[in-house]
Each structure stands twice: as C-alpha cells, then as structure tokens.
Amino acid sequence: MPNEPAASIADRLTFHEVDRQRWPNLVRLFEARGGPKFCWCMVWRAMPKAVKRTDDPGRKAALERRVRQGVPVGVLGELDGEPVAWCSIAPRPTYRSLGGPNDASAEPDSAWSLICFFVPQRLRGRSVMTRLLRAAVDHARRRGATMVEAYPVDLDSPSYRFMGFVPAFRAVSFHEVGMAGTRRHDMRLELPTAGATDPQISQISRIE
C-alpha cells in the first residue's frame, strides 16, 4: 500500500451509513491505534450534561445508543472491506450549538451538519478525505437534506483540523457565510433534491 497510487486506493473505497450492521466496523476503526476512541465523536452532539462528564466507555455507549435507535451519526469509508475512514454528518438538531450565523431559511430537520473527519495517518494525502467528503454530502442529500453546513479551518490552523480544511469544501461548491469563533469558517452547500443529480458530488462517491 505505501507505493500504491493514490487514485488506485481512492477508487477502491466504498462508503456506508453507520447503522447497526456497520457499528462493529466503526468500533474497529475507532479502537485501532491512533483512532478517536478518546471522544467517540460525542463532543459536538447534543446530550445531557451527565453524558458530557462521562468517561470514554460512556461516550462509546452514548454513540451506540444513537445508532441502535436509528439516529443518523455519519458515514464509514471502507477499503477492501476494512474500515479506514469516518465522517460525522447528521441532522443539525442532533448536535449542540456549533456557532456561526443562523440560517432561518433552512428547516432544522433538512439542514445537516458535517463536523468531523478521521483518516488514519497511513492513508492521508491519498484522496481518501476528498472521496469521504463527497460521499457524506451525497448521503445527506439521499436522506432528505436540502443544505449541508460545515466548519473547516485554514490549512495553517493550529486547532480544529479534524473539521477539515477550507479548500476541500470550496472544491465541491461550499460557500462561506461567516465565522464560528476565530478559526472555524461556517461554510454551506445547498443541495438538489434526492431525485436530482449534482455532478460535483455524485461523480466520485459511492455509498452502499
């Protein structure tokens, strides 16, 4: 894999909504070396204060409960059947306040927020994150989203890098509507309906 062309790796990726069936694969990815098992991607999700103060197993259990209840939590990328990438994308009401200007034109249930990526070190710089971003947006569109918001940072940002970088979002037509704090850019993408095709998104994403 170290000498394999990036395009070859990216072309073999498949993407899946994290549901009960995919939960074990998400656990494998998170609990592997370097995985985000310290937070279980619960930091930005709306939850009781008691859960916010819990330990790693408690956060894992909280995320699993959402999955088992059918609450959307994100998309898993797999390479030859192995989980290799994660993107947290879900309806806006399932997250706590993310900052940035409010958008009264979007119904809360049809606005989805994309707040986190994880790709292992060995696969970074191989177009995995680009494919994952587009697959995540396509997934939201298929689930009825009419707008996706994200909070990426500049390439030289010292923090919030897990939220992605501004150029990647601009490449798929996100536009900036303001700032959320001093580093996070509030960027949004209006989506076509599920029956329509957006070539910017769907031409290289496959979600199964």
Output the pTM of the full model. Answer: 0.87
Find the radius of gyration of the CA atoms of the chain: 16
Which residue segment(s) compose the domain that 25 sits in? 6-202
Q: Is residue 107 part of a domain?
A: yes
CA pair distance 62, 65, nearest whole angstrom: 5
Q: Is residue 118 part of a domain?
A: yes
Neighbours of 47 (CB within 10 A): 19
Q: What is the pLDDT of residue 99?
A: 87
CATH code, domain carrying 193: 3.40.630.30
pLDDT digits (tens, 9 = 90+) for 65-105: 999 999 999 999 999 999 999 999 999 999 998 988 765 45
Q: Is residue 1 part of a domain?
A: no
Q: What is the pLDDT of residue 46?
A: 75
Q: What is the pLDDT of residue 125?
A: 85
pLDDT digits (tens, 9 = 90+) for 133-176: 999 999 999 999 999 999 999 999 999 999 999 999 999 999 99
Q: Is residue 37 part of a domain?
A: yes
Cβ proximity of 113 and 149 under 8 Å: yes
Domain count, the chain: 1
Q: Is residue 207 part of a domain?
A: no
Q: What is the pLDDT of residue 201?
A: 44
Angle at 73 between CA 70 and CA 75, to 5 degrees: 110
Q: Is residue 164 part of a domain?
A: yes
Q: Is residue 84 part of a domain?
A: yes
Mean pLDDT of 13-26: 97
Q: Is 4 helix (H, G, I), strand (E, B) or coil?
A: coil
Q: Is residue 39 part of a domain?
A: yes
